[in-house]
Amino acid sequence: MNIDMNRLVDSERGLLDRRIFIEPEIYEEEQRRIFARCWLFLCHDSQIPRPGDFVTTYMGEDPVLVVRDTGGAVGAFLNVCRHRGNRLCRADSGNAASFTCAYHGWTYGNDGRLTGVPYLKEAYHNELQRERWGLVPVAQLDNYKGLWFATFDAEAPPLSDSLGEMAWYIDTFVDRREGGVEILATHKWAMPCNWKFPAENFGGDAYHVHWSHFSAVTTGFSVGSTATPASANRAVSPGLGHGLICIGGDGYGDPPMPEIQAYERDIRPEVQARLGPRAALVNPIVGTVFPNFSLLRGTSRTLRVWHPRGPDKTEIWSWVFADKAAPPEVKEAVRLAGVRGFSPAGTFEQDDMDNWQECTRTCRGVAARQMPVNTQMGLGRERFDPALGAWTSDYGFSESNHREFYRRWAELMGTADA
Amino acid sequence: MNIDMNRLVDSERGLLDRRIFIEPEIYEEEQRRIFARCWLFLCHDSQIPRPGDFVTTYMGEDPVLVVRDTGGAVGAFLNVCRHRGNRLCRADSGNAASFTCAYHGWTYGNDGRLTGVPYLKEAYHNELQRERWGLVPVAQLDNYKGLWFATFDAEAPPLSDSLGEMAWYIDTFVDRREGGVEILATHKWAMPCNWKFPAENFGGDAYHVHWSHFSAVTTGFSVGSTATPASANRAVSPGLGHGLICIGGDGYGDPPMPEIQAYERDIRPEVQARLGPRAALVNPIVGTVFPNFSLLRGTSRTLRVWHPRGPDKTEIWSWVFADKAAPPEVKEAVRLAGVRGFSPAGTFEQDDMDNWQECTRTCRGVAARQMPVNTQMGLGRERFDPALGAWTSDYGFSESNHREFYRRWAELMGTADA
Amino acid sequence: MNIDMNRLVDSERGLLDRRIFIEPEIYEEEQRRIFARCWLFLCHDSQIPRPGDFVTTYMGEDPVLVVRDTGGAVGAFLNVCRHRGNRLCRADSGNAASFTCAYHGWTYGNDGRLTGVPYLKEAYHNELQRERWGLVPVAQLDNYKGLWFATFDAEAPPLSDSLGEMAWYIDTFVDRREGGVEILATHKWAMPCNWKFPAENFGGDAYHVHWSHFSAVTTGFSVGSTATPASANRAVSPGLGHGLICIGGDGYGDPPMPEIQAYERDIRPEVQARLGPRAALVNPIVGTVFPNFSLLRGTSRTLRVWHPRGPDKTEIWSWVFADKAAPPEVKEAVRLAGVRGFSPAGTFEQDDMDNWQECTRTCRGVAARQMPVNTQMGLGRERFDPALGAWTSDYGFSESNHREFYRRWAELMGTADA
Amino acid sequence: MRNDPDLIREIEQFLYREARLLDERRFDDWLALFTDDVRYWMASRSNRYPKSSKAIAILDPARYVEDDVTGADELAVMDETKETLAARIARLATGMAWAEDPPSRTRHFVANVEVEPGEADAELKVYSNFIVYRSRAESEEDFYVGARQDVLRREGGAWKIARRRLVLDQNVLSAKNVSIFF
Amino acid sequence: MRNDPDLIREIEQFLYREARLLDERRFDDWLALFTDDVRYWMASRSNRYPKSSKAIAILDPARYVEDDVTGADELAVMDETKETLAARIARLATGMAWAEDPPSRTRHFVANVEVEPGEADAELKVYSNFIVYRSRAESEEDFYVGARQDVLRREGGAWKIARRRLVLDQNVLSAKNVSIFF
Amino acid sequence: MRNDPDLIREIEQFLYREARLLDERRFDDWLALFTDDVRYWMASRSNRYPKSSKAIAILDPARYVEDDVTGADELAVMDETKETLAARIARLATGMAWAEDPPSRTRHFVANVEVEPGEADAELKVYSNFIVYRSRAESEEDFYVGARQDVLRREGGAWKIARRRLVLDQNVLSAKNVSIFF
Ligand code: FES
Ligand code: FES
Ligand code: FES
Ligand SMILES: [Fe+3]
Ligand SMILES: [Fe+3]
Ligand SMILES: [Fe+3]
């Protein structure tokens, strides 16, 4: 590397070197130092409920197969045949007892074991040790409240440590009621931007809503939040690069459909009881689990991953979710809120794209590249709130979470991988 | 850099290393050492005549906003919001008192000052010093005879020194009559070639006309020039990499329309009087202001910039211009001459594209890359002509200007930027 | 280079580092160390039978013009004008006494000599030595049994040494009968894969046929081979990276058309007599001449070159061929077998594409990139068979040829070019 | 019906005119072409192995879904009523709908129009294919390609679109957004 | 008029045949389809903020131009008479029109044809959309997409093109040149 | 014939329906639309200098071939009989036709349909242009563009395709394979 990774982020002054959004060599390092080491989101349990159910996804740019084996145990593997490296499974999802590679017919069980090698005896003289050539599993796999996460780093701390206090905040999205949530819809599309822009945006950019999304707010695609920036809104970060936007415990920030509004009022006591006293203090509406997994509850309810595809390309894989215990009409309303608000055609989401694209593209200019990115809003005013177990901003609009996101980014980029 | 920049151009022998047209690292250096340091053309005064009028363009790959402020002063700024780096203005042209960023709503006046920051008091506690976060102006901005130029290099010599004697030659295109010229049409398109091929071509490649463009000449799209290579044609370079093709002062090289021919004969005395005695010696018909701004008067009348977009991609931004004092029917004839001769569909211009593209693409081959490019025509025969204040070729066809163009290129590439 | 070229291939253990299929810097080195040094296939004699006949092709990424001069001698030249480097000839094929560059009109004879330079006297003062600026010929050009090969390396051993014993195996495709073969059809298309995957595949991957192509075999697009893996099939390598798949001398592996089957039985004695005793032992049906020229006789009869176009892009240029002495109805049957079996729409070939593409694309992942590619089939069991003048596998399915292919690749990549 | 040339022509002209209204950004006129009870629906497509595929051995065939455009709306990117279409149009008029500011340059191609009797008397079932070209900013290009199934209903002497079902032939959408209508 | 199926069909066939003449490079036959006074005009499009946009505060609304295809010909890339079209065709026949040597492979798609009465009696106003695919050399591809407005005039028992207005839906053209006809 | 609107419409509808059968992967129904003696042929195109080109001085004009779609089948990528088409369809049904597993998402656009009398009485010569969009896996896209010349024959009261000649307007095909029908 010709670039000193430790000089790119100045958290003290809230300034970022714009090369981190455009330089290919920095992108390559991110693959090694961040995506190959962090816990990354794979899928939700409800996408693979029964034995044999599988989905394919990515960890960074690595293709991954997540499958529930015949015994019911979930595994995650590189979706790559061990023979010549062909992609093993080409479907998005399905159900399988075994997977057979299209090239030479090696067959792997839904537990990843190499079960079939044509002509093993005649051609390999049984010298190929099948037990050594099964699918490569992720280094660590874990489930938190129905969310499957994995990491390629065997040395990485366990998921619970990597989430830390973020775990409780995740509960407020996916464990509000008995049975948790289920996936209702899937959206996948490509954006011409660096992956960090959407990640930082969902992690704490309350500030852009009033302008980027004002048109959708004023035309009825959101009832907006009952909270005001002055009052209950806060940028909240439990550390480790994670961040959320929260409104007050008494506030609402839900999709506009009356069914949902009524439903939320009905279940509020149950939810607060389940989530505990902290739920009376804060109501998280959107957040990012470092590095590239975001959760949204305001306006629409989606989980999404920002898959890196190069310095200036990102794929969004987004899933609309609802409480499993919600009545059908509420689930349908939640689905429609997702489709209409946060999807490729979402009246909110469509307006984010050009901003992230142009924040990325302007970095190409040699003069523009020398202008630092400004994340100084509320600089130095964040405070640790023991009740929240997190640093909180002094005001509803702040870039305190941005600073934490890039501090963590720099921390990981500054230490070479094993 | 793994490449020694000083070994790429051999001006003495008129040979060029073909890597300069294809290597990404050389292209990156060009951005730093040439486009970030030279004076680059922005637009013509007539494109932004009134307060608030603006156009957007590029300096190299940096997006730039050129705007006349409410008081009538012209400014040029990086078209990049200082907050998170979003492109500020997405229109080609228009009229504005202020520009508001689509992401978070920061607003900049047409003088570049940051005038509006939503929630400056509540979210920034007025600690963001707006005066320090206005649009980034170019380092130097200047106007020569209605042509706006700028540089990102505060150390660069003033425009007048950088043009040197080229200034007079520019006059022969844009200051022939009182009032100068005005823009009549705009053309923008992408070419799959290195930017230096069109730049060198317009700077002195009289030689290609007889073959590349013979079909257009013989079918009436040009009356051709009254001059012959043997007689009055000359490649003329005032130095600093600039170059022109001139015919004799008594020659004509105008578009084929009779209105234009008659007009030119009528105004010839006035023009020569205005331009002075040198105009009796030479009549420039096309030229390049180093590095990427060209002017054309023969056949069609256009100003154009060759925007670099990677080693093998260039955008042409071209403007048809006419004397402001010309009568309407002459202006219309000039517009049509531009559309029909030098535009994406121009009968002359369309035949240049494949040549420049293939001169670039053949550089990909490892064997072809080792063949030097030949610019030996008239090698060593150029002479300095005090009356012209320039080096002139011994003959109408010569590559003396090519050699000067690449000598200057090597000079700049050989010295690292500050 | 930051990558140690000597550590990428482990022939002893039959393991490959997957970076060789994806890293741009390795690809660039391949251009220098392999494609600029090896003998590469250009075309077949029957494509340019008469004086003036020419075809254009590539050696690696270098454009090459192959032309039979007026005297009947064949030459091969960089298809690049010596002046400014424009591509000289833009046609696939044709007939010419001379070629004129579209840019400035330099003219080259069909023997490569620079015969015309406009204004040579006036503009160049006859100082341009035309004899020094003719088209750049390849360093060595040779013909083997109608196949034209060339290399850019003057130090390369002669073609005969570079083919070695492979020569006889080539005979079994193109010199089975008096008069050799002729080209009946041409197919060119682009594949999103690294060039080594098809090259290794045609050089010895008998193993994939039973699975990749089973659908075509079972629906009548091949009668399959009369040989079984257990019996006569063998992977055969004469060394130097070359490899073939052979069936027994008494076996047949021909296209399904009855005309062809009958024809093959009829000519078998003549062919074996012509090819000599070894033809009674082996019957080669497909093979690769290192690095990127393959010959196929089973199912379809094609010659093909795998032109590299970047780490993850390859162009196939493929030609259907038949014995010149074959009757018209057999030639027509061979043509149809080629079109239907091995062409962009070929029922066999279309199923190879995704495999090669995905073997390449999965290398993008940082985790997947660390998984070695497995070429261990029959490891250590290949034996040198004096009668065949080649190493042969112990069984019909083996990766012995793969190991030889990559051993040779590593050998060349490990030694820098002059 | 498929043999009534004049009716097919009439429907074609109706759809061509509708397309032109969109390309001219006359969104209110466009909206007037829909019935009040319209369902306007667009979905992308998934990658699924057919049951016959030997790439996998299906463990649980009973539950296996083969169709790549799930009826269950799982891949819908638009699912609109006349009200929400009206709201989308109102949004575009706010001057702050950034995805369309400056506006996209769209060109709608309606092809392969086929007409069949509808379920109700006054209704027609209309098949067509679409290519919608979208050009934006300086150099951005998108091709949206797919098929439409419309239900047209005769209302007050004019045809109205009572249902529109759009299938977009992509899995991972290549466009950064779908800020236009089809 | 838009309800006369046979006329629309006749015009469609006229335009399809015209397109085929271009793809077969029968340029002289193609030229014969134009009236002697034809104006053949093609322009690209600009990026302009509508007046309603809140991206800018317009300082001088009176002068502000919203239209992205300036009527003032400012973006015209072709503006031809029958004479200049003829000269372009003559140029292609010189054997030195390098942009077309070897020739482009073009395919013209004419779609969404609508017919309206013209200003004069013997005239029709015809709308259509076009996709022109251009393939060149080994691997070059361009898609030219846009809309046409033709004025067709009845002359000597046949239709002729009396005016052709082409809008190309791009700002920075992606093709290196426009060496073909539309 | 080119003036019989109803016949043209009938043929268009026949071709649109055929296209829909392909996009719905109803290959057996599609095959039934061909006569038993059909020749189904597709070729790409070469780059050749016309004889008039001054880029070369032709040495041997007598033998010089100008046409870029050689009649000699030299560039054919498909040359099929009804039997081989049936075999291709059978292959797709094996569950091991990997190029189509998961299946391509295709959309066939049939445009510029022109009808002329055929050589035989019961035959028509039909011109059309095609754009076939193929989307595959997550993000793969191909546009196959070209022209068709069909011979349609009246058989048993229905039209059948007795000959199909497809020209694909590319030299080096940009698609990795042609695993679909046209
Ligand atoms: S690559 Fe998977 S079986 Fe060979
Ligand atoms: S990026 Fe411009 S206001 Fe935030
Ligand atoms: S580049 Fe070939 S003649 Fe100048
Ligand atoms: Fe947003
Ligand atoms: Fe030129
Ligand atoms: Fe194969």
For residue F53, give Cα distances in angstroms to A213, E93, F70. Answer: 59, 9, 19
* Contact between C351 and F98 (Cβ < 8 Å): yes
Q: What is the pLDDT of residues A330-362, one digit of tens each?
A: 999 999 999 999 999 999 999 999 999 999 999
What whole-number percentage of chain A has pLDDT above 70? 97
Q: What is the 3-state secondary structure (H, E, C) of B280-340?
A: HCEEEEEEEECCCEEEECCCCCEEEEEEECCCCCEEEEEEEEEECCCCHHHHHHHHHHHHH
Using a CB-CB cut-off of 8 Å, the residues of chain B touching D102 are 90-91
Residue A81 structure tokens: 């045949």
Does residue B107 line the site of ligand 2, with CB under 6 A? no
Q: Average pLDDT for residues C212-237, to the nearest whole number?
A: 81
**For residues D106 and D143, what is the distance between their CA atoms, to the nearest angstrom?**
10
Is residue D161 pLDDT above 90, yes or no?
yes
Q: Compute, in angstroms, the gap from residue B392 CA to the centroid of ligand 6.
A: 63
By the 10 Å C-beta count (0-12 exposed, 13-18 middle, 19+ buried), D17 is classed as middle
Query: Which residue's CA is the nearest one to ligand 3's atom 3?
Result: C104
Stated as kind and residue range, the H or E segment containing A186 is: strand A181-191
pLDDT of residue B225: 61
> Across the A/B interface, how many CB contacts are shorter than 8 Å?
110
- The model's pTM is 0.97
For residue E177, give Cα distances in angstroms to A215, B274, B320, C162. Answer: 40, 38, 17, 46
pLDDT of residue A221: 83
Min CA distance, B103 vs chain D (Å)?
9
- Which pairs with CB-CB distance under 8 Å and at least 24 residues apart come from F1-5? F1/F115, F1/F116, F1/F117, F1/F124, F2/E13, F2/E17, F2/F114, F2/F115, F2/F116, F3/E10, F3/E13, F4/F115, F5/D5, F5/E5, F5/E6, F5/E9, F5/E10
Using a CB-CB cut-off of 8 Å, the residues of chain A touching C371 are 78, 80, 82, 85, 136
Is residue E155 pLDDT above 90, yes or no?
yes
pLDDT of residue D2: 52
Binning pLDDT at 50, 70 and 90, where does residue F2 land? low
Q: Average pLDDT for residues C67-91, to the nearest whole number?
A: 98
Is residue A128 pLDDT above 90, yes or no?
yes
The answer for residues whose C-beta is within 8 angstroms of residue A315's C-beta and 6 or more apart is A188, A189, A190, A191, A306, A307, A309, D172
> Does any CB of chain A come closer than 8 Å to the CB of residue B87?
yes
Is residue A256 pLDDT above 90, yes or no?
no
Using a CB-CB cut-off of 8 Å, the residues of chain C touching A122 are 229-230, 395, 397
Is residue A418 pLDDT above 80, yes or no?
no
pLDDT of residue A6: 81
* Helix, strand, coil tally for chain E in percent (to 5): 25, 40, 40
How do strand D34-43 and strand D158-168 relate by DSSP bridges?
parallel
Residue E7 structure tokens: 């006329």
* Contact between B33 and B412 (Cβ < 8 Å): yes
Is residue C1 pLDDT above 60, yes or no?
no
- Ligand 3 nearest-atom number relative to CA C105: 3
Residue A123 structure tokens: 């051609």
Binning pLDDT at 50, 70 and 90, where does residue D37 land? very high
- Ligand 2 nearest-atom number relative to CA B85: 1
**Helical H segments across B22-127, by residue range:** 24-30, 120-124
Tell me the best of B101, B115, B120 to mutate to test the pocket of ligand 2, counting ligand atoms within 8 Å of each CB and taking the most.
B101
Q: Average pLDDT for residues B276-285, to the nearest whole number?
A: 95
Give me the residues paired with residue E116 across strands: E125
How do strand C15-16 and strand B302-308 relate by DSSP bridges?
unpaired
Selected for mutation to probe chain F from E16, E96, E128, E141 (highest F CB count within 10 Å) is: E16
**3-class secondary structure, A47:** helix
pLDDT of residue A417: 54
How do strand D34-43 and strand D76-80 relate by DSSP bridges?
antiparallel
Selected for mutation to probe chain E from D3, D10, D11, D16 (highest E CB count within 10 Å) is: D16
> Does any CB of chain C come closer than 8 Å to the CB of residue F141?
no
CB spacing of C362 vs A36 below 8 angstroms = no
pLDDT of residue A379: 97
* Contact between A137 and A151 (Cβ < 8 Å): no
Give me the residues paired with residue C319 across strands: C186, C303
DSSP string, chain D: -TT-HHHHHHHHHHHHHHHHHHHTT-HHHHHTTEEEEEEEEEE-------TT-SSEE-S-GGG----SS-TTSTTEEEEE-HHHHHHHHHHHTTS--GGGSSPPEEEEEEEEEEEEE-SSTTEEEEEEEEEEEEEETTTEEEEEEEEEEEEEEEETTEEEEEEEEEEE--SSBSSS---S--
Binning pLDDT at 50, 70 and 90, where does residue B224 land? low
**For residues C51 and F129, what is the distance between their CA atoms, to the nearest angstrom?**
39
* Contact between C149 and C38 (Cβ < 8 Å): no
> Does any CB of chain C come closer than 8 Å to the CB of residue B353?
no
> Does any CB of chain F come closer than 8 Å to the CB of residue D171?
yes
Is residue C82 pLDDT above 60, yes or no?
yes
Is residue E1 pLDDT above 60, yes or no?
no
Is residue A79 pLDDT above 60, yes or no?
yes
pLDDT of residue E153: 98
Residue E66 structure tokens: 């919203």
- Ligand 3 nearest-atom number relative to CA B211: 3
DSSP string, A67-131: EE-TTS-EEEEESB-TTT--BS--SSEEE-SEEE-TTT--EEETTS-EEE-TTHHHHHTT-S-GG
Angle at B349 between CA B343 and CA B350, to 5 degrees: 95
Q: Average pLDDT for residues E59-72, to the nearest whole number?
A: 87
By the 10 Å C-beta count (0-12 exposed, 13-18 middle, 19+ buried), D33 is classed as middle
Is residue E124 pLDDT above 60, yes or no?
yes
Query: Which residue's CA is the nearest one to ligand 3's atom 4?
Result: C104
CB spacing of A82 vs C395 below 8 angstroms = no
| C293-296: strand order across its sheet | C181-191, C314-323, C302-308, C293-296, C282-289, C242-248, C234-239, C390-392, C383-385
Is residue A2 pLDDT above 70, yes or no?
no
CB atoms within 10 A of CB E61: 10
DSSP string, A256-271: S-HHHHHHHHHHHHHH
Angle at C177 between CA C176 and CA C182, to 5 degrees: 90
Q: What ipTM was assigned to the predicted interfaces of this complex? A: 0.97
pLDDT of residue A3: 79
**Where is average pLDDT lowest: A275-284, C291-300, F60-69?**
F60-69
Is residue B140 pLDDT above 60, yes or no?
yes
Q: Compute, in angstroms, the gap from residue C365 CA to the centroid of ligand 6.
A: 25
CB spacing of C185 vs F76 below 8 angstroms = yes
Identify the active-site residue in C10, C83, C142, C208: C208
The answer for F 13-52 residues in CB contact with E (under 8 A) is 45, 47-50, 52
Q: Average pLDDT for residues D89-109, to the nearest whole number?
A: 98
Using a CB-CB cut-off of 8 Å, the residues of chain B touching D137 are 90
By the 10 Å C-beta count (0-12 exposed, 13-18 middle, 19+ buried), D68 is classed as buried
The beta-carbon neighbor of B377 closest among C31, C59, C124 is C124
**For residues A240 and A246, what is the distance between their CA atoms, to the nearest angstrom?**
18
Mean pLDDT rounded to a whole number for chain B: 95
Is residue A168 pLDDT above 70, yes or no?
yes
C323 is catalytic: no
What whole-number percentage of chain A has pLDDT above 90? 91
Q: Compute, in angstroms, the gap from residue D26 CA to the centroid of ligand 6.
A: 54
D63 to chain A: nearest residue by CA? Answer: A95
Return the amino acid letter for C418. Answer: A
Angle at A158 between CA A153 and CA A164, to 5 degrees: 125
Query: Which residue's CA is the nearest one to ligand 1's atom 1?
Result: A84
Burial B1-21 (b: 16+ CB within 10 A, else e): eeeebeebbbbeebbbbbebb
Residue D40 structure tokens: 């306007």
Stated as kind and residue range, the H or E segment containing C322 is: strand C314-323
pLDDT of residue E149: 97
* Contact between C198 and C318 (Cβ < 8 Å): no
pLDDT of residue B105: 98
CB spacing of B190 vs D137 below 8 angstroms = no
Is residue C229 pLDDT above 80, yes or no?
no
Is residue C383 pLDDT above 70, yes or no?
yes
Is residue B228 pLDDT above 90, yes or no?
no
Is residue B342 pLDDT above 90, yes or no?
yes
CB spacing of B189 vs E176 below 8 angstroms = yes
Residues in chain D: 182
pLDDT of residue B282: 94
Q: What is the pLDDT of residues A217-229, one digit of tens each?
A: 999 887 656 667 7
What is the maximum span of chain F, computed from C-alpha positions, in angstroms? 55
* Contact between B18 and B398 (Cβ < 8 Å): no
B356 to chain C: nearest residue by CA? Answer: C86
Selected for mutation to probe chain C from B366, B394, B397, B402 (highest C CB count within 10 Å) is: B366
- Ligand 3 nearest-atom number relative to CA C106: 3
> Does any CB of chain C come closer than 8 Å to the CB of residue E137?
yes
Query: Which residue's CA is the nearest one to ligand 1's atom 3?
Result: A104
Q: What is the pLDDT of residues E26-46, one digit of tens each?
A: 999 999 999 999 999 999 999
The answer for C 357-416 residues in CB contact with A (under 8 A) is 358-359, 361-368, 371, 373-379, 381, 395-398
